[in-house]
Amino acid sequence: MGRPGFHCITFGCQMNVNDSQWVERALTARGFEPRPMEEADVILVNTCSVREKPEQKVHSTLGRISLANPSAVVGVAGCVAQQLGGELARRHPQVRLIAGSDGIASVPDAFVRLLEEPELRLSFLDFTDSFPDRDPCLTPGSAQPETPVAFVNIMQGCDNFCAYCIVPYTRGPRKSRSAASVLEECRAWVARGAGDITLLGQNVNAFGRDRYGDGTSFPDLLRMLAGIPGLRRIRFVSAHPRDLSEETISLFAELPQLCPRLHLPLQSGSTSMLQKMGRGYTMERYLSVVQALRQARPDIALSTDLIVGFPSETEQEFQDTLAAVDSCGFMSSFSFCYSDRPGTRASGMPFKIPRDIQLERLSRLQTLQNERTEAWLRSRVGLETDVLLESPSHKQDGANLWQGRDPWGDPVNVLLPDGQGRPGQFVDVRVRLAKKHSLMAVPR
C-alpha cells in the first residue's frame, strides 16, 4: 500500500495559512504525501470567521468535497469549527474531526487515528491553559518545501473584544508562547535557509503581558531574535496602536534587522468611531505613534486595515478616514464593509449603514488608496536596495525573472542571467520601473 495522501483547504489570515502549513509538515513527517483533493485520504478545511459569509463558505466547501471525494476523512479546524462545533458533523456526516483554534496541534495525530479506526469521531474544542506549543517539524529529514520566508506564531487569542470582532470568542484569551520556544523555531527556520521571519499574533505588542508569558517582553524578544546569526529581516503582525510601546518604536532605530515596514491597523480615522469600535485609542494617539515611528525610522512605510460603514458612521466620519489615509501616507490598506458577527457588541448596535452606502464609501476609499499605492511604488524608482529572492517566475530572453521582496515588503521582479539566483539569496538591486502592484529591478 502506498503512502496516505492529504489535502488542506485554507481560508483567512496568515495565522491560518501558517497553521495549515504546519499541519502539512506534521502529516508529511508522519508518512503522508500531498495529493489533489479528489485523491486525498484525509482533507483538512481550515476556516476563518473574520470576513463575510464564513459559514456558507465552509458548508459549500464541505458539499464540494462530498461530491469529489466521498470516502476521504474530513476535518474542520479554526474559527468556524470553534463556533459551530458538533453541528458541522451533524450536517456533514463525512466530517469526523473538529478542531478549534487551540486544537490544531492535535490534528495530525487525530488523522492517523481516524484512518485506523473507521467508526471514530474526534473533537478538540476546549481552549487550552497555555500556548498550544507544537513541534515545528523542521528537524533535518522531515520533508518540507524550502522557503526563504517564514512565519512564526508567538501568541494565540486576544482579550481586546473590539466591538466588531469575533476573534476573542473563537481564538480564546491571549496566551503568549515562551521566548525559548519562539527562538528555537526561528533558529530552525534560519538553519533551513529563511532570511526573513514574520512574528504572528493577534496583538503581538502585548506579547508576554499575560499570565502565560515567561516574563520576556516583546522588545526583549525582538532583541533576542536580532541576535540570531543569518536572520537579516524581522517583521511582526498585527501591531495594536494602543499597545505599541515607546521601547518597541525605538527598536526601529536600533535594530537594522527590523524591516522599515509596519502594518498598524487603524480601522477608522474618526475618534468617535474608534470609541464605538472599542479600539482603545484616539486618532490623536494614532497620529502621535505614526510621528514617533517616522522619527525613529524616517523611511518606514505603513499599511493598515480599515472598516467602512460601521454602525452609525456618518459621511463626515467616513471623510475622516479618507483624510487619515492622506495624513498617514499608507502605502497599502485592507479595507472592508462592516458586517455583523454573531455575539459581538456591534451586532446589537442600532443605525446599521445600508449596503449601497457602504459599498459606495468602500469604492471611494479604495480608489484613493490605489492612487496612494501607485504613488508609493513610483517613489521607489531609482532606489538602491536588496531583494530576497523567493522563486523564479519565467524565462525572458535567456534570463530568468525572479520574484522577491524588498525590506518594505514590496513585490519586486529581478531579471538575472540564466544559472544565477536561488531561493533565499539576497541580491543588491536598483529599481528601474514601477508597475501597478510591483516593481522591476536590475542587479547592481
| Site of interaction with ligand SF4 (CB under 6 A) | 158, 160-162, 165, 167-168, 202-203, 240
- To the nearest whole angstrom, how small is the minimum distance from the Cβ of residue 84 to ligand SF4? 19
Residue 366 to residue 132: CA distance in whole angstroms? 38
Nearer to ligand SF4, 242 or 352 (CB): 242
Nearer to ligand SF4, 240 or 361 (CB): 240
Cell numbers describing residue 378: 513610483
- With residues binned 3-state (H G I as helix, E B as strand, rest as coil), the percentages for the chain, rounded to 5, are 35, 25, 40
Nearer to ligand SF4, 123 or 153 (CB): 153
- To the nearest whole angstrom, how small is the minimum distance from the Cβ of residue 266 to ligand SF4? 11
Nearer to ligand SF4, 49 or 123 (CB): 49
- To the nearest whole angstrom, how small is the minimum distance from the Cβ of residue 156 to ligand SF4? 11
Nearer to ligand SF4, 101 or 128 (CB): 101
Classify residue 37 as exposed, middle or buried by CB count within 10 Å of its CB (0-12, 13-18, 19+): middle
Residue 268 to residue 311: CA distance in whole angstroms? 12
For 369, half-sphere exposure in the C-beta direction (CA atoms, 13 angstrom radius) is 23
- To the nearest whole angstrom, how small is the minimum distance from the Cβ of residue 265 to ligand SF4? 7
* Distance linking the first and last C-alpha atoms of the chain: 53
- To the nearest whole angstrom, how small is the minimum distance from the Cβ of residue 105 to ligand SF4? 20
Nearer to ligand SF4, 218 or 402 (CB): 218
- To the nearest whole angstrom, how small is the minimum distance from the Cβ of residue 160 to ligand SF4? 4
Classify residue 116 as exposed, middle or buried by CB count within 10 Å of its CB (0-12, 13-18, 19+): exposed
- Kindly report the backbone phi and psi dihedral angles of residue 385, in degrees, each rounded to the nearest multiple of 5, phi listed first: -155, -170
The verdict on whether omega for the bond into residue 217 sits within 30 degrees of 0, i.e. cis, is: no
Task: Please name the helix (run of DSSP H) or strand (run of DSSP E) that holds residue 289, with its range, or none.
Answer: helix 283-296
